[in-house]
């Protein structure tokens, strides 16, 4: 049976656009549909606008710290509307670039919702289209907790459409989105409390990093409420009232649900095509990102594996090369570096101490210090923590973790060494750049402990 396209992509985010663009470059007939915004979550309501707001908050701290270095500075005053204009202009610019990239390779672009109509068939604007391969890359969507009054709360997307800064904010959740939002809002002038179920925030990260971040957030005036579960949100004359499982309640102007994201698969027509999902709605795929239905693939947050933009683009590129480039390959999910843009930020790659201990004996190297800048400013909560995890048998560095200023920039370079299989001795014979925080990674000589 004839096909209208070699590849039809549902979703115009990082995974979908990269796969479509590379496939078209290989000569495939490609179509792609996006119903909301080109560039997906990252460009529009995630990485990009969030990082701009992180940077905005940092300027306030720098202004407050400037007198310690001899600068005469008046108390800074932030203009929320000016930030919003600058942020939204950059988001619009990047979103337009995504669409132009597709036009540049002659892909057919649909500004519309596309759904599966059956194996090998997609429906767009009431028209059925046949494709030899179909890629589902519809990303994820923020979720609210199923509690009374949940409709009064905001989700992460809403931060980027708020007309003004709320003065009293409660953020629900202990993951990276919750903590990044808490730091942004606090840095821009709000009173912030974070409520989460675990004893420490950032479940899944290294324990030393989790504890150090909790200490840093508290030092900057963010109220942490661990071991707590929200049970109700009520609208009052003064704003909102949040009730916790302990019976405690607090008033707020805004309550943010940062309690996780779910795969965006609802109403996609998966049943019509016979595509299987797990209990959370994530599409099930094999190592080649094939679903259970021949010719249908899924990538990115919709499979709920490693939900990071660079991972989505890497797998999208690999799939296009595999299907149309005559070069079958995979993008590895091992040793994927990531960052948390809190204040201070986190960079991490490889195994945590707990994960390394499960695999066998590992040496743990740790250092903690006040960076030079803050020996002058005296700002609380700015200590740097750096940590290396080393296999005691092979001497390979299995993991690196850092909390501190410039951590994401530093860990990108460390990640290259870890992916390449560098040993502790490779680190030891590397000369440090002085004076930097980064040099500490090559001057760690004595293990703090051995585990496993």
Q: Which tens digits make up the pLDDT trace of 10-20? A: 999 999 999 99
pLDDT beyond 70 at 1: no
Q: Tell me the C-alpha distance between 95 and 82, whole Å.
A: 20
When pLDDT is averaged across residues 91-117 and rounded to a whole number, the result is 96
pLDDT beyond 70 at 132: yes
Same domain, 188 and 241: yes
Q: Quote the pTM value.
A: 0.95
Answer yes or no: is 331 within a domain: no
Determine contact, residues 442/417, Cβ cutoff 8 Å: no
CA atoms within 13 A on the CB side of 64: 15
Answer yes or no: is 408 within a domain: yes
When pLDDT is averaged across residues 210-231 and rounded to a whole number, the result is 98
pLDDT, residue 73, reads: 84
> 357: how many CB neighbours lie within 10 A of its CB?
16
Residues noted as catalytic: 434
DSSP codes of every residue in 257-320: E-S-EEES-TTS-HHHHT--B-TTSPBP--TT-B-SSTTEEE-GGGG-SS--HHHHHHHHHHHH
Answer yes or no: is 330 within a domain: no
Same domain, 65 and 159: no
Same domain, 57 and 165: no
Same domain, 241 and 388: no
Its domain, for residue 415, covers 338-451
Final residue of a structural domain among 259, 279, 306: 259
Q: Which tens digits make up the pLDDT trace of 48-76? A: 999 999 999 999 999 999 999 999 988 78
Final residue of a structural domain among 281, 297, 324: 324
Tokens encoding 4: 């209208």
- Which candidate, 98, 117, 116, 119, places its Cα nearest to that of 107? 98
Q: Tell me the C-alpha distance between 17 and 1, whole Å.
A: 27
Q: Tell me the C-alpha distance between 7 and 29, whole Å.
A: 6
When pLDDT is averaged across residues 341-360 and rounded to a whole number, the result is 97
Helix or strand or coil: residue 437?
coil
Determine contact, residues 50/41, Cβ cutoff 8 Å: no
Helix or strand or coil: residue 112?
coil
Q: Tell me the C-alpha distance between 208 and 224, whole Å.
A: 17
- How distant, in Å, are the alpha carbons of 30, 99, 271, 413 from that of 127? 16, 22, 19, 48
Q: Which tens digits make up the pLDDT trace of 292-322? A: 999 999 999 999 999 999 999 999 999 999 9
Same domain, 118 and 156: no
Same domain, 21 and 106: yes
Which residues are CB-contacts of 416 (< 8 A; sequence separation ≥ 6)?
A: none
Same domain, 229 and 190: yes
Answer yes or no: is 384 within a domain: yes
Same domain, 316 and 360: no
pLDDT band at 27 (very low <50, low <70, confident <90, very high): very high
Answer yes or no: is 216 within a domain: yes
pLDDT, residue 26, reads: 98
Answer yes or no: is 332 within a domain: no
* Mean pLDDT taken over the chain: 97
Answer yes or no: is 415 within a domain: yes
Final residue of a structural domain among 204, 227, 259: 259
Work out how many domains the chain is built from and give that number.
3
Same domain, 136 and 272: yes
Answer yes or no: is 111 within a domain: yes
pLDDT band at 130 (very low <50, low <70, confident <90, very high): very high
pLDDT beyond 90 at 225: yes
Q: Tell me the C-alpha distance between 356 and 149, whole Å.
A: 42
Determine contact, residues 345/205, Cβ cutoff 8 Å: no
pLDDT, residue 375, reads: 96
Beta bridge partners of 170: 193, 255
Same domain, 395 and 423: yes
Same domain, 86 and 232: no
- Domain CATH code at residue 313: 3.50.50.60
Helix or strand or coil: residue 79?
coil
- Domain CATH code at residue 398: 3.30.390.30
Helix or strand or coil: residue 198?
coil
Q: Which tens digits make up the pLDDT trace of 402-435? A: 999 999 999 999 999 999 999 999 999 999 999 9
Beta bridge partners of 403: 346, 385
Same domain, 15 and 120: yes
- Which candidate, 171, 185, 187, places its Cα nearest to that of 226? 171
Q: Which tens digits make up the pLDDT trace of 168-208? A: 999 999 999 999 999 999 999 999 999 999 999 999 999 99
């Amino acid at each position: 049976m004839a096909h209208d396209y070699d590849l039809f992509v549902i979703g115009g985010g990082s995974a979908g656009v990269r796969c479509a663009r590379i496939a078209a470059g290989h000569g495939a007939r490609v179509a792609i549909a996006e119903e909301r915004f080109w560039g997906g979550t990252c460009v529009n309501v995630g990485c990009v606008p969030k990082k701009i707001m992180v940077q905005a908050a940092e300027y306030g701290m720098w202004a407050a710290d400037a007198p310690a270095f001899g600068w005469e500075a008046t108390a800074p005053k932030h203009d929320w509307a000016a930030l919003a204009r600058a942020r939204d202009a950059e988001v619009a610019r990047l979103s337009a670039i995504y669409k132009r990239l597709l036009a540049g390779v002659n892909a057919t672009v649909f500004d519309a919702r596309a759904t599966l109509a059956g194996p090998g068939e997609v429906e767009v604007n009431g028209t059925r289209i046949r494709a030899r391969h179909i890629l589902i890359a519809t990303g994820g969507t923020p979720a609210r907790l199923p509690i009374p009054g949940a409709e009064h709360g905001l989700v992460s997307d809403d931060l980027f459409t708020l007309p003004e800064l709320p003065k009293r904010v409660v953020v629900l959740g202990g993951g990276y989105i919750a903590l990044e939002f808490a730091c942004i809002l606090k840095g821009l002038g709000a009173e912030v409390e974070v409520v989460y179920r675990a004893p420490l925030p950032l479940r899944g990260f290294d324990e030393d990093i989790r504890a150090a971040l909790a200490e840093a957030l508290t030092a900057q005036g963010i109220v942490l409420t661990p071991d707590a579960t929200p049970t109700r949100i009520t609208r009052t004359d003064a704003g909102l009232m949040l009730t916790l499982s302990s019976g405690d309640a607090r008033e707020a102007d805004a309550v943010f649900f940062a309690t996780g994201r779910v795969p965006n698969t609802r109403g996609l027509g998966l049943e019509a095509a016979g595509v299987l999902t797990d209990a959370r709605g994530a599409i099930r795929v094999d190592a080649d990102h094939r679903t259970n239905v021949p010719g249908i693939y899924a990538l990115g947050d919709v499979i709920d594996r490693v939900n990071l933009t660079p991972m989505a683009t890497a797998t999208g590129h690999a799939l296009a090369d595999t299907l149309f480039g005559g070069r079958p390959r995979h993008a590895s999910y091992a040793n994927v570096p990531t960052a948390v843009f809190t204040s201070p930020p986190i960079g991490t790659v490889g195994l945590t101490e707990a994960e390394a201990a499960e695999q066998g004996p590992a040496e743990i190297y740790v250092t903690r210090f006040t960076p030079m800048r803050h020996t002058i400013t005296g700002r609380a909560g700015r200590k740097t923590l750096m940590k290396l995890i080393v296999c005691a048998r092979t001497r390979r560095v299995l993991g690196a973790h850092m909390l501190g200023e410039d951590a994401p920039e530093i860990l990108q370079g460390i990640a290259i060494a870890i992916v390449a299989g560098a040993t502790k001795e490779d680190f030891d014979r590397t000369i440090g750049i002085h004076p930097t925080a980064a040099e500490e990674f090559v001057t760690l000589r004595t293990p703090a402990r051995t585990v496993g």
